């Protein structure tokens, strides 16, 4: 086997892409800002340097391992070098840590602490830079940028959006939208993936906590909350629990203690979505060959991408509102009568793993009589902050169930939170065979797994094969769209989620690497496994909704048109 000598120890390698990966394999957590394993290597931060056997300093992230090469990670030269970089960064950085959104989570703060930096030898050159608060979902604070470029590469390479880039040269260099525009004036799709990889608070997800607290403390408001599928498998990570552990019962209990008046699960909305979307799919299959598939509509980042880059696809995107917005409309309708008799006003809050949901909730299409169906969206991380602020001992709290009358949901609704889940839920609905064996077969169709592109075929009736594409990450979506438009590939149904891996990897979730994301995905499927209801149509709540509130109002309450 090939090997390197790292700090005197032999470390074997085969397909590790760079020395940094090997160093980490050797159990050394080399400090870095800009190395994020899913992105291309940029080598900007120079923190991950190592010394070779001739005393040369090399960036370990951008150097491939070489057989029998010797490096050291801990020498006086390296120590000085890293301290110097940190001090230079700190000299150019805002140091209002105590009031920073990333306080306690900032990589610069963490490394300054790790290196015991007590003072900075250079003059503080921080300039007051204007915040960009134009977006409904993210805030840019260029004064806190350390130019690692992770956000730029995320937005370009993974999301194919290119809303932000480096501007100016030398000391004036910043990351910003082209022509100094505000982020809301660009093609930004609000996915927040830039914020998810930002090591500092240069890009953060906007917070709506103030408004939510205000509503909770107002006795004239009935504050109703829904919790998205993916939140349950990630929130525990912030309380020393394992990634993927399903903590929905604890979340419900915590929400009650926080003062929410009624607590529901967005998976109910997901069941509604499949009831509607499967109708569209069957209609489409009946109508026969079409160049374009039916695209899913539940991801607001994807909707925005289609609106800005692929208007021609809009007629082929499902008219279903997202589960959040369907359920939002149902919730507002449900409490309407009670509100007027009790003299209160229902405020609808959604807890989402996603930053784009904030933008979705603010869209005009989701207002009826000028009132949004979902008033506030807060992220998983914002909910963590609420729980910590009040001091609820999350690890100790006993699980509780959501409220009537919307307390039932299917496992199919829960798996919406992971890439391929929406499709699997739809497939369970449209196949005629409802046996346990058929359910198992669907599990192995190829819809599961964290790959960014999945293709599979499904036999619905004797001689009809349905071709399905599942993509996550918008660059993957773009590649698939190109194949569809050129006629190279044909699909009947395509699921698109903007975030790589689906909602479990949304920008509102705790910071994660591949391992956590994989564990969260497994957690979603485990939640389905233990649920007694496997298909949306088996959820008794659907029957009562369709015979009641939705009887003549599915179009009004559950569908939307983006074709402006």
Q: Could you list the active site residues?
A: 277, 280, 298, 318, 357, 360, 365, 503
8 Å CB contact between 12 and 3: yes
Beta-bridge mates of residue 351 = 227, 378
Ranges within 507-526 binding ligand HC0 (CB under 6 A): none
**CA 185 – CA 180 distance, rounded (Å):** 10
Beta-bridge mates of residue 224 = 262, 348
Contact call for residue 298 and ligand HC0 (CB under 6 A): yes
Stretch of 116-124, 437-445, 482-490, 502-510 lying at the interface with ligand HC0 (CB under 6 A): 502-510
Sole binder of ligand HC0 in the list 195, 198, 254, 354 (CB under 6 A): 354
**Tokens found for residue 496:** 């698109």
Question: Which option in ligand SF4, ligand HC0, none does residue 194 bind, with CB closer than 5 to 8 A by kind?
Answer: ligand SF4
Rounded to the nearest whole angstrom, what is the least distance from the CB of residue 357 to ligand SF4 in the complex?
12
Contact call for residue 417 and ligand HC0 (CB under 6 A): yes
Question: Which option in ligand SF4, ligand HC0, none does residue 163 bind, with CB closer than 5 to 8 A by kind?
Answer: ligand SF4
Closer residue to ligand HC0 (CB): 197 or 248: 248
**CA 472 – CA 449 distance, rounded (Å):** 11
Closer residue to ligand HC0 (CB): 229 or 473: 229
Element (H, E) at 264: strand 262-265
3-state helix, strand, coil in the chain (%, to 5): 45, 15, 40
Sole binder of ligand HC0 in the list 143, 149, 301, 323 (CB under 6 A): 323
**Tokens found for residue 157:** 């390479």
Contact call for residue 372 and ligand HC0 (CB under 6 A): no
Question: Which option in ligand HC0, ligand SF4, none does residue 352 bind, with CB closer than 5 to 8 A by kind?
Answer: ligand HC0
What size, in residues, is the chain?
564
In the block, tokens 């939002």 appear at: 328
| SS3 label, residue 3 | strand
Residue 248: which region, alpha, beta or left (left: phi > 0; alpha: psi -120 to 50)?
alpha
| SS3 label, residue 62 | helix
Which residues lie near ligand SF4 (CB under 6 A)?
A: 138, 154-155, 159, 161, 163-164, 188-194
- Interface with ligand HC0 (CB under 6 A), residue total 21
Residue 18: which region, alpha, beta or left (left: phi > 0; alpha: psi -120 to 50)?
beta
Sole binder of ligand HC0 in the list 248, 299, 425, 484 (CB under 6 A): 299
Q: Which residue from 93, 90, 145, 94 is spatially nearest to 121, judged by alpha carbons?
A: 90
**CA 40 – CA 62 distance, rounded (Å):** 10
Sole binder of ligand HC0 in the list 61, 324, 484, 542 (CB under 6 A): 324
Contact call for residue 89 and ligand HC0 (CB under 6 A): no
Contact call for residue 471 and ligand HC0 (CB under 6 A): no
Stretch of 6-14, 353-361, 454-462, 510-518 lying at the interface with ligand HC0 (CB under 6 A): 353-361
**CA 142 – CA 543 distance, rounded (Å):** 51
Question: Which option in ligand SF4, ligand HC0, none does residue 191 bind, with CB closer than 5 to 8 A by kind?
Answer: ligand SF4
Stretch of 337-345, 350-358, 435-443, 480-488 lying at the interface with ligand HC0 (CB under 6 A): 350-358
**CA 107 – CA 288 distance, rounded (Å):** 54
Contact call for residue 229 and ligand HC0 (CB under 6 A): yes
Contact call for residue 503 and ligand HC0 (CB under 6 A): yes
**CA 43 – CA 17 distance, rounded (Å):** 14
Sole binder of ligand HC0 in the list 322, 379, 423, 512 (CB under 6 A): 322
Q: What's the distance, Cα to Cα, between the start and end of the chain in Å?
A: 61
Q: Name every residue whose Cβ is closer than 8 Å to that of residue 269 and which is 6 or more positions away in sequence.
A: 226, 322, 323, 324, 325, 326, 327, 328, 330, 413
Closer residue to ligand HC0 (CB): 33 or 416: 416
Contact call for residue 317 and ligand HC0 (CB under 6 A): no
Question: Which option in ligand SF4, ligand HC0, none does residue 469 bind, with CB closer than 5 to 8 A by kind?
Answer: none
Rounded to the nearest whole angstrom, what is the least distance from the CB of residue 132 to ligand SF4 in the complex?
11
Rounded to the nearest whole angstrom, what is the least distance from the CB of residue 564 to ligand SF4 in the complex?
20
**CA 261 – CA 551 distance, rounded (Å):** 27
Instruction: Return residues touching ligand HC0 (CB under 6 A).
Output: 228-230, 266, 269-270, 298-299, 322-324, 352-354, 357, 416-417, 422, 502-503, 506
């Amino acid at each position: 086997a090939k090997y390197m000598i790292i700090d005197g120890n032999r470390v074997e390698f085969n397909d590790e892409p760079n020395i940094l990966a090997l160093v980490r394999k050797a159990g050394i957590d080399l400090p870095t800002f800009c190395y994020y394993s899913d992105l291309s290597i940029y080598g900007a931060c120079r923190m991950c340097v190592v010394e070779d056997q001739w005393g040369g300093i090399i960036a370990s992230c951008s150097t491939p391992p070489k057989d029998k090469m010797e490096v050291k990670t801990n020498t006086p030269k390296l120590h000085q070098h890293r301290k110097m970089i940190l001090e230079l960064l700190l000299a150019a950085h805002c140091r209002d840590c105590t009031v920073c959104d990333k306080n306690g989570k900032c990589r610069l703060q963490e490394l300054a602490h790790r290196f015991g930096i007590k003072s900075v030898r250079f003059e503080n050159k921080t300039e007051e830079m204007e915040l960009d608060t134009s977006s409904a979902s993210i805030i840019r604070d260029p004064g806190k940028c350390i130019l690692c470029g992770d956000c730029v590469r995320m937005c370009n390479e993974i999301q194919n959006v290119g809303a932000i880039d480096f501007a100016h040269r030398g000391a004036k260099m910043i990351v910003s939208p082209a022509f100094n525009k505000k982020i809301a004036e660009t093609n930004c799709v609000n996915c927040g993936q830039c914020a998810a990889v930002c090591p500092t608070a240069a890009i953060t997800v906007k917070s709506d906590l103030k408004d939510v607290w205000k509503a909770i403390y107002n006795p004239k408001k009935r504050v109703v909350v829904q919790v998205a599928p993916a939140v349950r498998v990630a929130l525990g990570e912030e309380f020393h629990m394992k990634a993927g552990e399903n903590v929905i019962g604890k979340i419900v209990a915590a929400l009650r203690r926080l003062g929410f008046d009624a607590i529901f699960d967005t998976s109910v909305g997901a069941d509604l979505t499949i009831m509607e979307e499967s109708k569209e799919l069957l209609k489409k299959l009946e109508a026969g060959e079409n160049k374009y598939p039916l695209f899913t509509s539940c991801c607001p980042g994807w909707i925005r991408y289609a609106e800005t880059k692929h208007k021609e696809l809009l007629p082929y995107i499902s008219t279903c509102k997202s589960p959040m917005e369907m359920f939002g409309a149902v919730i507002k309708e449900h409490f309407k009568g009670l509100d007027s008799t009790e003299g209160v006003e229902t405020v609808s809050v959604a807890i989402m793993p996603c930053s784009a949901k904030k933008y979705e909730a603010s869209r005009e299409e989701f207002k009826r009589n000028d009132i949004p169906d979902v008033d506030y969206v807060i992220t998983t991380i914002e909910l963590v902050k609420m729980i910590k602020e009040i001091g609820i001992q999350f690890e100790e709290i006993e699980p509780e169930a959501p409220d009537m009358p919307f307390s039932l949901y299917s496992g199919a609704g829960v798996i919406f939170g992971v890439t391929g889940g929406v499709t699997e839920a739809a497939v369970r609905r449209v196949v005629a065979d409802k046996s346990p064996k058929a359910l198992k077969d669907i599990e192995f169709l190829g819809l599961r797994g964290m790959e960014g592109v999945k293709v599979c075929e499904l036999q619905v009736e004797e001689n009809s094969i349905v071709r399905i594409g599942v993509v996550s990450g918008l660059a993957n979506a773009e590649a698939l769209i190109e194949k569809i438009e050129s006629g190279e590939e044909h699909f009947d149904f395509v699921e698109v989620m903007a975030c790589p891996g689906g909602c479990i990897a949304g920008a509102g979730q705790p910071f994660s690497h591949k391992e956590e994301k994989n564990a969260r995905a497994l957690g979603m499927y485990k939640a389905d496994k233990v649920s007694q209801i496997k298909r949306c149509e088996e959820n008794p709540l659907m029957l009562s909704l369709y015979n009641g509130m939705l009887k003549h109002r599915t179009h009004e309450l559950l569908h939307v048109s983006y074709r402006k």
